[in-house]
Amino acid sequence: MKIFLLGGTKDSINIIKFIKKNYDAYILTTTTTEYGAKLAKEGGSDDTIARPLPKEEIIDMIISKNYDILIDATHPFAEHITQTSASIENELKIPYLRFERPITNLENIDTSNVYYVNSFIEAGKLIASEFSKGNVLHFAGANTMEDILKNIPTDRFYPRILKVEKSVEKCNELNINPNHIIPMTGAASTKENIELIEKYNASVIITKESGEIGGVIDKIEAANAKNIAVVMIRRPQIKEINKKNIVSNLDELDVELKNFF
């Protein structure tokens, strides 16, 4: 079984490990960074590509290399690539799965400090009007900083990013003080988030609704402990995805792979 995996998430690493353990499979994983490709290789991927791929190149590779299935395990907020992967399925009629991590279950979590918005522009505007004192911890990735900074001054802004070349360059472009950059090596614990709130005198955390695997609960609990706000960006709804193509855990993935093959 030859698998073309759109990766770059912790979910994708779990998928690689699961498939290599349970199936006779060759996996090519694509990511947008060298760091993501390194993790995929360590997880057992047979080959990796560490750059964004245009739709036409993905199609050419699938056809020329005879891939059996396309799996999209990109981030819930990677809207463009998921739209692209769904359109490739329609064009090629190839077996296709979207691995969509579940929405965070906050049933037993105090969400009184959580403010939901639909975009990063909206998040910046909300913070500018409602949380004008204290600093801003940005836990939502380097590619989303620009929209926030349209309404928030850089002297209040502390992004937690992977210290890879692309992300650091983005910080430089936006004139973010290098001393404000918080190196990231994975999701932080509640305790680590509390330490960051205290260290940087933060009054608000920005995060995506990226699921438990993205550390959402730890961020909320840290904010609750210090009585500060969490501005949470809701996930985009990607209408191109057919609900029957979505799996949200490895058991569901296993069932669908068995159905296909």
**pLDDT tens sequence across 172-216:** 999 999 999 998 877 789 999 999 999 999 999 999 997 777 789
Which pLDDT belongs to residue 54? 95
Q: Residue 122: which domain range?
A: 114-233
d(CA 38, CA 34): 6
Beta-carbon contacts of 163 under 8 Å, excluding residues fewer than 6 positions away, are: 181, 183, 184
48, 86: one domain: yes
215, 157: one domain: yes
> Could you give the number of structural domains in the chain?
2
Question: Contact, 83 vs 63, CB < 8 A?
Answer: no
Which pLDDT belongs to residue 94? 94
Residue 87 resides in a domain: yes
207: CATH: 3.40.50.620
245: CATH: 3.40.50.720
Residue 109 resides in a domain: no
Taking the CA atoms of 22, 26, 32 and 38 in sequence, report the sign of the dihedral they define: positive
183, 216: one domain: yes
189, 250: one domain: no
For 223, the 3-state DSSP assignment is: helix
255, 158: one domain: no
Residue 244 reports pLDDT greater than 80? no
